[in-house]
């Protein structure tokens, strides 16, 4: 009653408490009471393709979560999503929507999983948070520095729980490798290697095709905030990747959102970032204020050949940490290698490994934080700094020049020609 009378909205009050860390118990009890589907967290899906289907299959078995609705601009995808959910629960209760804003209007939706293309991640996340929903967003969470900053600010202001889909923070071998760096097992950290695809820029339009009915494919809503161009089904099928209008940072964030993020974590730089970015023929050399270097390596064939300092059997998204007393490397297959061999004492057997693509523990962390009010492991602050580091790296590659960067002020210091690359024009789609 006191909050109501003071003119301070309840949601903003809770968001302020979350930001200040003052009242986790109050927030936790408030969030627990907000779940409206038989005491379960009501989950809505925004954008359901292959990656979302993978994520959703990990979330459906959680006993405290109930998937209630799916929104997608393509009829075939939303129908396939409904079939998946209904078959799992053994009913026909899952509702479908063409326009995700209708899903956001439902009071029984407590949280959303956003797995659209990159162009929509930030805008959909902000709209969801402003509608009072907690957000699990696939990465890259924003296709520009500006959008990553706005998204983080929105999550701070609304007090909603946010988890970036950088699930390797919740996978045991990556956690183990980072813990070993933090505990000094390799000695003082000197250098890190983060693998990415070879960056690329593609601005060619696909040929125009007859536009289907809005109920089959809502092309205007598919484009959303991205610039307009003629319809071609191949975009909807995934060929938007690598297109500057739709993709993030010349594709550098496809893997960099994971591997640079892991390096940020290993260097205990979650609230900071590199201070310089220097493009090289096959990599970007980044330096932190504490003297640690991070080399972002361009892998010519991410699923086959590796650069000289990566081992193929370790799988995708490999990272290497080099210290004064040795090095360790790990990737998506779950194994950790290193020198000297004594570093590897305590590594689990291969049969017990969890692959880096697995999202179960990361999703569990998200839903647990909805109940507790705690910050998830890949919260909006963590996302902001690691994504910004990736974006500055991509700008250095695009401009082909060394860039000095202030990671606290989040400003590029010496490259005025970078200004047009800090944000994207937003089309008035609504």
Tens digits of per-residue pLDDT, 253-284?
999 999 999 999 999 999 999 999 999 999 99
- Residue 378's pLDDT band, with cuts at 50, 70 and 90, is very high
- pLDDT for the residue numbered 30: 42
Which residues, 6+ apart, have CB-to-CB distance to 100 below 8 Å? 44, 46, 47, 71, 124, 127
Do residue 275 and residue 371 come from a single domain? no
Backbone angles phi, psi at 324, to 5 degrees: -70, -20
In the chain the first and final C-alpha atoms are separated, in Å, by 37
Do residue 104 and residue 177 come from a single domain? no
Do residue 46 and residue 121 come from a single domain? yes
The yes-or-no verdict on residue 168 having pLDDT over 60 is: yes
Which CATH number is 101's domain given? 3.40.50.720
Q: What is the largest CA-CA distance in the chain?
A: 65
Which residues, 6+ apart, have CB-to-CB distance to 334 below 8 Å? 171, 172, 173, 315, 350, 353, 354, 355, 356
Residue pair 173/315 in contact (Cβ under 8 Å)? The answer is no
Q: Is 159 left (phi over 0), alpha (psi -120 to 50) or beta?
A: left
Which CATH number is 334's domain given? 3.30.360.10
The yes-or-no verdict on residue 323 having pLDDT over 60 is: yes
Residue 232 lies in a domain: no
Residue 58 lies in a domain: yes
- What 3-state class would DSSP assign to 334? coil
Do residue 123 and residue 262 come from a single domain? no
Range of the domain at 292: 169-200+248-356+383-421
Do residue 163 and residue 262 come from a single domain? no
The yes-or-no verdict on residue 70 having pLDDT over 70 is: yes
Do residue 188 and residue 127 come from a single domain? no
Read off the pLDDT of each residue in 28-49 and give the average, rounded to a whole number.
Answer: 72
Give the residue from 265, 255, 258 showing the smallest Cα distance to 181. 265
The domain total for the chain is: 2
Residue 59 lies in a domain: yes
Do residue 81 and residue 193 come from a single domain? no
Do residue 194 and residue 60 come from a single domain? no
- pLDDT for the residue numbered 160: 98
Do residue 161 and residue 191 come from a single domain? no
The yes-or-no verdict on residue 34 having pLDDT over 80 is: no
Do residue 18 and residue 162 come from a single domain? yes
- pLDDT for the residue numbered 429: 87
Separation CA 384–CA 39 (nearest Å): 32
Read off the pLDDT of each residue in 296-307 and give the average, rounded to a whole number.
Answer: 74
Do residue 25 and residue 162 come from a single domain? yes
Do residue 53 and residue 184 come from a single domain? no
- pLDDT for the residue numbered 301: 67
Residue 401 lies in a domain: yes
- pLDDT tens-digit profile of 175-208? 999 999 999 999 999 999 999 999 998 889 999 9
């Amino acid at each position: 009653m006191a909050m109501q009378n003071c003119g301070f909205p309840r949601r903003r009050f809770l968001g302020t408490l979350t930001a200040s860390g003052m009242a986790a118990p109050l927030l936790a009890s408030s969030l627990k009471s907000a779940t409206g589907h038989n005491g379960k967290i009501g989950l809505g899906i925004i954008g359901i393709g292959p990656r979302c289907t993978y994520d959703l299959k990990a979330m459906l078995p959680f006993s405290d979560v109930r998937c209630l609705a799916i929104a997608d601009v393509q009829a075939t995808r939303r129908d396939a999503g409904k079939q998946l959910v209904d078959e799992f629960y053994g009913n026909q209760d899952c509702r479908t929507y063409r326009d995700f804003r209708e899903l956001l209007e439902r009071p029984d939706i407590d949280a959303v999983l956003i797995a659209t293309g990159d162009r929509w991640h930030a805008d959909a996340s902000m709209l969801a948070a402003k509608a009072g929903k907690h957000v699990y967003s696939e990465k890259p969470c924003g296709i520009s520095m500006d959008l990553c900053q706005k998204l983080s600010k929105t999550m701070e202001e609304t007090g909603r729980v946010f988890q970036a889909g950088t699930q390797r923070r919740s996978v045991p071998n990556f956690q183990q490798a980072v813990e070993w760096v933090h505990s000094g097992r390799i000695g003082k950290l000197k250098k890190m290697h983060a693998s990415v695809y070879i960056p690329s820029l593609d601005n060619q339009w696909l040929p125009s095709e007859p536009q289907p009915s809005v109920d089959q494919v809502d092309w205007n809503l598919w484009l959303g905030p991205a610039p307009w161009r003629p319809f071609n089904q191949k975009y909807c099928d995934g060929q938007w990747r690598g297109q500057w209008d739709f993709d993030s940072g010349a594709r550098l964030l496809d893997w960099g959102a994971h591997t640079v993020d892991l390096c940020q974590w290993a260097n205990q730089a979650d609230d900071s970032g590199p201070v310089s970015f220097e493009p090289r023929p096959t990599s970007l050399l980044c330096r932190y204020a504490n003297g640690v270097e991070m080399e972002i390596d361009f892998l010519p064939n991410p699923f086959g050949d590796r650069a000289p300092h990566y081992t193929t059997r370790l799988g995708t998204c490999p990272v290497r940490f080099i210290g004064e007393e040795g090095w360790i490397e790990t990737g998506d297959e779950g194994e950790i290698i290193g020198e000297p061999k004594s570093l590897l004492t305590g590594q689990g057997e291969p049969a017990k490994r969890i692959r880096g693509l697995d999202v179960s523990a990361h999703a569990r962390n998200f839903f647990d934080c909805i109940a507790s009010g705690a910050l998830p492991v890949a919260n909006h602050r963590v996302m902001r700094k690691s994504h910004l580091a990736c974006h500055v790296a991509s700008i250095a590659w695009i401009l082909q020049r060394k860039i000095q960067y202030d990671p606290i002020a989040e400003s590029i210091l010496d490259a005025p020609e970078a200004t047009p690359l800090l944000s994207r024009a937003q089309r008035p789609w609504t």
